[in-house]
Amino acid sequence: MKKLLFYLPSFILIMIAFTQIFFAKGLGQTSWKGGGFGMFSSLDSPHFQKTRIWVFYKGKKIAANFSIKVVDKNLYRKFKARPTTNNWLDVVDQFKNTLWYYPMIEEKIKLGINLYPSDFDYIKKNISKSFSVLTYSDGHQVPKEAFFKPEKILLEHYRVRFDSSLFRLTSRKVFQKELFF
């Protein structure tokens, strides 16, 4: 028993490394994470991925590249480290109960002014049925009616591939989901 304890740290290393190989080869996890020492071996890290988010309102398509903040940080990290369909749907689900506050949106659309993501003032996530008013830290309040509901949100997940024979980078869409409101 004492002798076994002696080797415990090295034994744990081997067990975790085999588990990580199973996660990577069987469940689509990146080789870089999980304690299997696969870092610096493959071009499959989360670094090669990008989620693009678009909001549609009155015929306009608005880039909302900041809105990934709506998603729980650990959930998004999990998706990028293990980009499976189930994990993608978990990310998408986070957008279902959101309200978007975009002051002056009606005026801007009427005047034909382009919409920019920086104009979005607030995204309220996990909206409950009883939600009626948003109170800012300085005390001013925005009623639920002032938020707009996008007609649609389009979520796209891209992956960049490196082609060493042509020394070329290409981006490919791997997941897409439209949410209607």
Partner 1 sequence: MNVKKINFLNMDLFEIILKMTLFLLLFHGGISWHVKIPIKFIVLLTFFIEDLWKKPIVWFSLFLFQISGIWFDYYIIDNHQYLLAYWSLAIFLSTVGPKEFHRLSIIKVNGNLLCSFSMIFAVVWKGFLSDDFLKGDFFLFTLFDDSRFHNFTHFLTGLSFEQLKENQWFFNTVLEGDYKNVPIKELLLNKNVKFTILAKTLTYWTLFVEGSIGLLFLINHFWKKRALFILKHIFLLVFILSTYPVATVTGFGWLLAVFGLSDLEDEPLLKVSYFLIILILQIFSIPMGDIFLSLKEF
- CB of 30 closer than 8 Å to CB of 81: yes
Q: Residue 19: which of 45, 38, 47 has the closest Cα?
A: 38
- In the complex with partner 1, the residue whose CB is nearer, 36 or 150, is 36
Strands (E), the chain: 49-57, 60-63, 99-101, 122-124, 133-135, 141-143, 152-163, 168-180
- CB of 88 closer than 8 Å to CB of 177: yes
Show the site string, 62-81: x = touches partner 1 by CB under 8 A, - = not. Answer: -x-x--------x--xx-xx
Site for partner 1 in 3-32 (CB under 8 A): 5-10, 12-14, 16-17, 21, 24-25, 31
Smallest gap from Cβ 121 to partner 1, in A, equals 20
Residues 88 and 90: their CA atoms lie apart, in Å, by 5
- In the complex with partner 1, the residue whose CB is nearer, 21 or 146, is 21
Number of residues that bind partner 1 (CB under 8 A): 49
Smallest gap from Cβ 142 to partner 1, in A, equals 27
Binds partner 1 (CB under 8 A): choice among 69, 86, 145, 166: 166
